[in-house]
Amino acid sequence: MAARLAPLLAAAALVALPPLMPKYALEVLISILFFGYLGACWNILGGYGGQFSFGHAAFFGLGAYTSTLLFLHWGVSPWIGMLAGGLLAAGFGLFAGYLSFRYGLRGPYFSLVTLAFAEMLRVVAVNWKAVGSSLGLVVPNRGSAPALFLFAEKLPYYYVILTMAVGALVITRAMERSRMGYALAAIRENEDAAEAAGVDALSTKLSAMALSSFLTALGGTFYAQYFSYIDPSLTFGPAISIGGLLPAIVGGAGTVTGPLLGSFVLTPISELTRAALRGRAGADIMLYGLVLILVISFLPNGLVGWIRARRAPAGGRR
Q: How far is the CB of 163 from another protein (least distance, A)?
A: 27
CB of 171 to another protein, least distance (A): 16
Nearest-angstrom CA–CA distance, 88 and 95: 11
Q: Is the Cβ of residue 168 or residue 199 nearer to another protein in the bound state? A: 199
Residue 316 neighbours by CB distance under 10 Å: 6
Q: Compute the least distance from the CB of residue 166 to another protein, in Å.
A: 23
Q: Of the two residues 74 and 103, which places its CB atom closer to another protein in the complex?
A: 103
Instruction: Give the nearest distance from C-beta 119 to another protein in angstroms.
Output: 6
Q: Which is nearer to another protein, 43 or 225 (CB)?
A: 43
Half-sphere exposure of 314 (CA within 13 A, CB side): 3
Q: By C-beta, is 64 or 194 nearer to another protein?
A: 194
Cα 141 to chain centroid, rounded: 25
Evaluate whether 45 touches 207 at the Cβ level (below 8 Å). Answer: no
Binding site for another protein (CB under 8 A): 50, 52, 54, 99-100, 103-109, 111-113, 115-117, 119-120, 123-124, 126-127, 177-179, 182-183, 185-186, 189-190, 192-202, 238, 242, 249, 277, 280-286, 288-293, 296-297, 300, 314-318
Report the nearest approach of another protein to the CB of residue 111 (Å): 6
Q: DSSP string covering 218-262, please? A: HHHHHHHHHHSEE-HHHHHSHHHHHHHHHHHHHH-TTSSSHHHHH
Bridge partner residues of 229 (DSSP): 138
> Who contacts 53 (Cβ-Cβ below 8 Å, separation ≥6)?
42, 45, 46, 110, 111, 114, 212, 241, 245
